[in-house]
Structure 1
């Protein structure tokens, strides 16, 4: 691409040098080169930022334990998707299974298996939705509410310990960056 740019500049320069006002042409050529250099530098910086962001995110995922399929980052012997389901059900008290699938961004069949696993642990109870013969409402059992509370406490403790290792003057910026990243990750509908 850089060779194409240089060739284009040479052609531009050669054809313009024939004009009567070569000084003005030279200024235009320099201006064009200046803007092209800034554009190319910006593209390189974006790529460098993307690479740095990717590396940082991958390191965070590994260091925080998000890559372990059968264990939460807080050490609970529970798949992360099931832990997230527990958070949503506990937050709402009762939630339709299709709404849980939407919030978790998982296929209905995946959520059905996930809920079956939670029900087999004795943590979730399925109920028929009022006025909808096919709809399913999910409710935590007493054991499920206890497990969800324990997970929330463990998660809070782990995050507090993590934030304690971030310099105090940078904590708010880290939290805000995570919020911005979470919002940016939402796919437009």
Structure 2
């Protein structure tokens, strides 16, 4: 448990010989000292060892040997053996336990990384599901437009709204240029332009120097609608921000910027631009 700097018992042999949930702090007992110092701890007579833990001595521990588990310079745990009578541990026994520790440590590292990855993936899935819901709610809230924002009127689609905003400056754009700005297919823009023309919002004119190009500009009715929609959207955004505590508004804005930057770097968007 790195966040609490605790060493927790994972397994023991024979099973049940140690209390379930047993923990040691760094520097506590043979296990904690081995982990803290990175050096094996060899205790031949536990009862007379100055750093003996009363709980271990009370269980009758007579001798112990603890070897730290290190992999890639990172401490992963401790391997410990104990006996219920004082024991003169041999050099060969220490070498054998150290060798076993060198084999166990990488396996523990791999297990920890796998567990961390699974936890990370689970966390990502939860965040993704929540983000998807929140983004859809935001799109629905700001994507609902009508020809008369205050008193209803005919619905205005998201694509129509975006086209109105792009053309509201009075700039005349070709269908191809509008398709690039809205990131829509040329055929989609063509159908959109015909639809907006039929609603009296748009004029479509052939380019005088290139008859293959169709240029678009808003009619007076289209410009008036664009102004109304822009004013309504600004009012709606202002109303939303007014409900957010002033101390939180800057963090909300920064969060939106992070989302926009992430969308701009999206592989899916890059693929759309390349197609």
Tell me what 1:111 maps to: 189
Q: Distance in 2 between matches of 1:109 and 1:132?
A: 19
User: What does residue range 1-189 of structure 1 map to in structure 2 within 5 Å?
Assistant: 22-23=97-98, 26-27=101-102, 29-34=104-109, 36-62=111-137, 65=140, 71-72=144-145, 77-91=155-169, 93-186=171-264, 187-188=269-270, 189=274
Structure with more of its chain in helix, by fraction: 1
The runs of 4+ residues in structure 1 deviating greater than 3 Å are 73-76
Structure 2: give runs of 5+ residues left out of the alignment.
Answer: 1-94
Q: Distance in 2 between matches of 1:42 and 1:165?
A: 38
Structure 1: give runs of 5+ residues left out of the alignment.
Answer: 1-19
Q: What secondary structure sits across from 1:83 in the alignment?
A: helix
CA shift, 1:165, in A, is 2.1
Q: Distance in 2 between matches of 1:140 and 1:33?
A: 67
Structure with more of its chain in strand, by fraction: 2
TM (norm. structure 2) is 0.52
Count residues in correspondence. 168
Q: Distance in 1 between matches of 2:126 and 2:207?
A: 47
Deviations 1:100-142 (A, max 9, x none): 1122222222211111121112111112235322111111111
Coordinate RMSD, CA, aligned: 2.9
The 10-residue stretch of structure 1 (173-182 or 82-91) with the greater mean CA deviation from structure 2:
173-182
Q: 1:149 to 1:25 in 2, by over 3 A?
A: farther
**8 Å contact 1:65–1:72 — kept in the other structure?**
no
CA shift, 1:39, in A, is 4.9
Q: Distance in 2 between matches of 1:104 and 1:26?
A: 61
Q: 1:79 to 1:46 in 2, by over 3 A?
A: same
